Each structure stands twice: as structure tokens, then as C-alpha cells.
Amino acid sequence: MPVYRLTADLNTDPEVGASPNRIVSVRFAAPMHCHDFYEFFLIVSGSCRHLVNGGVQRLAEGALVFIRPDDTHAYDYDGKNDCEFVNIPCAAELIREAFRYLGGEPFARRYLAPAMPPVVILSQVERKAFLTEYEKLRVLSSFNKPYARLFLKGLIAETFTSYFSADCTASSNTLPGWLESLLAEMQKKENFTAGLSRMYALSKRSPGHLNRAFRQYLSMTPVAYINGLRLDYAKVLLLSTEHPIVDVAFESGFNNLSHFYHLFHGEYGMAPAELRKRRKTI
């Protein structure tokens, strides 16, 4: 799957340092991408699967996420559920300035060190407050850019201090180097189709050690992670080829067709054939 690189010069207003956006469906969100700027996004309604850094974050209404330049991510339907979200792409220099003001390198590490983007769940009151500030920034950006930039600086600082906390960026969420390397290797087709035995061989850890690490850092089992990779690959094949469904299942690493159907429906809320029928509208 290609990864697109978005740049600040095309995605932020240089006079403001941001370009607030509202995305009404994951259908209109950017495909798998990274960027040279930071970003906050808030799920306004619905839910989605946030595909990021080789893992999946299931996000529902009220989830506020901080995306770093090194994060590679995209959005997908959560079964049959869609979502609407607002995002604020922020110029890198403004985030660095906020980090220096709020505590320097130790403060920045809380948000930059974790392998997965920090996520907090806002209450209804907090959601309303954030959306009000978002709307102010959007309006100011249209007619008073210098003041909008100043307002944005305050909004960035307030977002970190009022919503994010050390709890969502605890050091226990930082992946060990060996596990991060393993996840990268397992994203290769020849590895995730080979399955659990290949993961054990690549990890050079005991099954017990590997299971504990997956539960601690990813809140899932190795088998669930592998099945997620296989299902994502199967979805790509269903949407981009005319291969028979049985061939899609086997090519994705599933040797049992009924098991593939069961997992696919559990993940996407529909049968493979139904997804293929809907591909022109997804």
C-alpha cells in the first residue's frame, strides 16, 4: 500500500500555522500518509478504525488524537460505522515552541516517545469547548491571520495542559526496540501469511514472553495482530481485484474459508461479497 507524504506548505496556512478542516466521512479522508507537520483531530460523531504505525486504534466519539510527523496513518470504516472528525494540522515550529514553553525536552518526550499516537477521551463538556475553540480558529483564519496565529498558540498549549495528561503517554506504552522491529517485519506479506510460527522465529522470544509483550503494549494477542494484518490485506484485494473470494482468503494467509468469513464479518460488519458490492461507494 503506497504511503503519501503531506507537506505543511500545501496543508497549512503559512500565516496562521494551521488549516482547520472538517471531514464528514472516512470516505473523504486522506489515504495512508505521513506528513512533516503535527496534527490534532477529534472524532465528532460515529467511530472509525485508525490504522497507524502498523497497529489499529478504534476511535469513537470524543477521541482526541495527537499525530506526530513520523506517524503513518489512515482512517477506515469501523464495520458499517462511519465517523465525522475535525482536524487541525499545525506547523512543526509552533508545536516545538509549545513544548519549550510547557517544559522543554522532558515534556516533549511524553508525547513523542510512545510508538502509538497519544489519545484522550473528552467528556461532552470538553468536546463542546474544543469545538468552540476550533470554530474560532477557523473563523479568525479567514480574516485576521496574525491574530489567528496567536490564538492557535494558546489553543495548542491549552490542548496539552487541559486534555492530555501523563496517563496517556506513560513510559509503559513505549514499545521495546525488538517489538517495534518485529511489527515492521510482520507487515510484510511473506511474514503475516506465514503466521504465528514466523512471528516466533523472527522475535527470538518465547511464546509466553511474546504473548505478555503484546498484551502489555498492544492490548491484543499475537494471533489477533496477525489476523488484523491478513484481514486488511484481504480487504485491499477485495476492493482492487476480481479474484474469487476463496483465492483472496488463501492469498491473505487463511487456510480455513469459514474461519475467514467469521473473522471478516466480525472485523468489518459484513461479508466479503457485500464489501465487494459496495466498493464503488467506499
> Using N-to-C axis directions, what is the helix angle for 222-240 and 177-186, rounded to 10°?
30
How far apart CA 71 and CA 117 sit, in angstroms, is 7
Q: What is the pLDDT of residues 142-181, one digit of tens each?
A: 889 999 999 999 999 999 998 986 444 444 445 788 888 8
How far apart CA 230 and CA 192 sit, in angstroms, is 7
CB 55 within 8 A of CB 175: no
Its pTM surpasses 0.85:
no
Q: What is the pLDDT of residues 24-38, one digit of tens each?
A: 999 999 999 999 999
Fold (CATH) for 175-281: Arc Repressor Mutant, subunit A (1.10.10)
The CATH number for 4-172, chosen from 3.30.43.10, 3.60.20.10, 2.60.120.280, 1.10.8.10, is: 2.60.120.280
How many other β-carbons are positioned within 10 Å of the β-carbon of residue 135?
Answer: 13
Domain boundaries, the chain: 4-172, 175-281
